[in-house]
Structure 1
Amino acid sequence: MLLTSIFIIPESPFFLRLGIAGIVIHRLLLIIYIIKLNKVKDFIPVLIAVIPFVFVFSYLLSISDGIPEGSYYPLLVQNILVSILGGVILSNYFMNETTNTPWLSIFGVLSIGLYFTVFIEKFFLNNLPPTYFRPLGMVLFVTSYYAFYKFVIDVERLNAVVKENNE
């Protein structure tokens, strides 16, 4: 994620593509890791939970006028990945009553809020100076990944206890 952030800073198309590829790979790995940690077996609730996110982000993408040429399909992929991430987290909240649910839910709310904030800033409020949304984005980013860290630590601790009890 650090390399991705560095690649996005210069406005070179090559580095921007590398940054976007890094974000896509990061989100895919994040989704796969969450599914693996939660041992998701039934994907129907996930598919149902993805639908509201897809509608919201597709609507925002369809009404935005400031999308640069060549950015539509990467944004569409990002919208789908963020919707899947939100769907996995939302379905986990309703389907799994475990102690790790609050940390994953906090991560989900903050991650979706971060993506929503960045999307709105870049494509709807791009005439405002970056000082309005950048601090909010930084706070959301740091707190969301702290919540994800706490979620992973709790799940691994719980899995270790379960494994120890089974032996």
Structure 2
Amino acid sequence: MTVSDVLDRAKAQQVMIATAESCTGGLVAAALTDIPGSSAVVERGFVTYTNTAKQQMLGVSGETLAAHGAVSEEVAREMAEGAIRHSDAQLAVSVTGIAGPGGSEFKPEGRVCFGLAAEGLTTRAETVDFGALGRGKVRIAARDHALDLLSQGLFNLAQI
């Protein structure tokens, strides 16, 4: 499904979208807003690169950050849910990861965690290891995966 298809489906379903991004730095919101007419469904985007920003803008718990680190499904879940709480959107996707260079044995370069929250649905979180593709390629792969998740979220909302 293309970005235009995601926007068309959201418009048809009258669903507003929010993004909560860390390692992608706004690439998901940019991909959505590159399409004319996207203002009908893109409610807002949060770029929360630091832990402080995640806490202040999205309400991510300091305890969750301390226990699991910013690159975790737990934080991705709280980011997506926070984007719903702090917006007028009904669907939100979150992205937090290690684009590189660097990483560690436990959180290698290319590991990205995603969250998908929607009104009336259980929040979903998942981790994808894209590998050490290089910073730019990891960020693009994460953007594309987040857009796919939005498509899946719209499909799930249509089933309610």
TM-score (norm. length: structure 2) = 0.30
Per residue, is there more helix in 1 or in 2? 1
Per residue, is there more strand in 1 or in 2? 2
TM-score (norm. length: structure 1) = 0.29
Larger Rg: 1
